[in-house]
Amino acid sequence: MNTGASPEQLHHRVLDWYAVAARDLPWRRPDCTPWGIFVSEVMLQQTPVVRVEPVWREWMSRWPTPADLAADSPGEAVRAWGRLGYPRRALRLHAAAVAMTDRHAGTVPATEAELLALPGVGTYTAAAVATFAFGERTTVVDTNVRRVLARVVTGQEYAAPSPTRAELTVAADLVPADAATARTWSVALMELGALVCSARSPRCSACPVADLCAWQVAGRPAYRGPARKGQAWEGTDRQLRGALLAALRASHTPVPRSALESLSDNEIQRERCLDSLVADGLVEPLAGGRYRLPASREAS
């Protein structure tokens, strides 16, 4: 189902709303560098703004350019990542900084294709940085955008578990022809999903396109697709991996195995988590049963 709203109607409503409702975030300001935007986009994946902003500010103060981060160890990137979650993103940021330094004279490459060629950079990050840092007209689709378009255009409460060709086509067809407007449209759509068209408690009464929304017009039918995964935490490998990493981040000298063993009585789970951290390049084993965060560029 769809309401038949024209792209022009949606553009007008959403862009006017964004002009008033947009949050003042440091990576959106005109003086933010492409590197600052790149770092923000990696940090913001699966992590809310309120947790990202202080860490982003610390990173930009410590490593204001890709070369600054590349000159430091990947272990320091993991340490500075703190509790943002999904710490492999810290290693990917470090690896990307090394590649920018080695291949692009220490600058963030300006095109989507060049960005996509960086280690650890996926489709979303490449498109977002190309658009927000360099004004390239492209299609930026994150979780918020997918949810907004699922509701407004197709009348579904939630998007499919993974992006489909059909929804990517819908998103691309809605991108304004003018590059500057397309840039604002992309960030405005993301903001609408973050602030109004949220996953659990959408504020339809505050939505600028509520009367054009297929899901709202249809009476907000319940989601009927595949079961959505929960976010269990207590007792999971993710929780224990986080505890092991926290112990290593807190120490600037190698940590003995005994200190890590004290974090969990579940030997099988503990060893599985420690092995996975080593395999992911987040932890470096040393002689004598000691461990540390990765100290060399190769570890990233």
Q: Residue 73 falls within a domain, yes or no?
A: no
Give a yes or no: residue 171 inside a domain. Answer: no
Looking at the 3D structure of the chain, how many domains does it have?
A: 1
Q: What is the pLDDT of residue 1?
A: 42
Find residue 255's DSSP bridge partners: 291
What is the b/e burial string over 103-136, where b = at least 16 CB atoms within 10 angstroms of the residue's CB? eeeeebbeebebbbebebbebbbbbbbbbbbbeb
Residue 80 in domain = no
Angle between helices 88-103 and 34-43 in degrees, nearest 10: 160
Per the DSSP assignment, residues forming a β-bridge with 256 are 290
| Confidence at residue 272, expressed as pLDDT on a 0 to 100 scale | 94
Quote the pLDDT of residue 266. Answer: 92
Closest CA relative to residue 264, chosen from 284, 228, 237, 290: 237
pLDDT for the residue 299: 36
Q: Does residue 277 sit within a domain?
A: yes
In a domain, 89, yes or no: no
Q: Which residues are catalytic, by number?
A: 41
- Does residue 132 lie in a domain region? no
- pLDDT truncated to tens, each residue of the chain (300 aa)? 455 679 999 999 999 999 999 999 999 999 999 999 999 999 999 899 999 999 999 999 999 999 999 999 999 999 999 989 899 999 999 999 999 999 999 999 999 999 999 999 999 999 999 999 999 999 999 999 999 999 999 999 999 888 899 999 999 999 999 999 999 999 999 999 999 999 999 999 999 999 999 999 999 998 887 766 666 767 888 899 999 999 999 999 999 999 999 999 999 999 999 999 999 999 999 999 999 999 864 433
The token pair at 2 is 């769809």
- Relative orientation angle of helices 49-62 and 34-43, to the nearest 10 degrees: 140
pLDDT confidence of residue 173: 96
Domain that holds residue 284: 237-299
Per-residue pLDDT, 254: 95
Burial class (CB in 10 A: 0-12, 13-18, 19+), 219: exposed
Q: Is residue 245 part of a domain?
A: yes
The CATH number that applies at residue 265 is: 1.10.10.10
Q: Is residue 269 part of a domain?
A: yes
d(CA 277, CA 293) in angstroms, rounded, equals 10
pLDDT for residue 295: 86
- Let me know if 179 is exposed, middle or buried by CB neighbors in 10 A (0-12, 13-18, 19+): middle
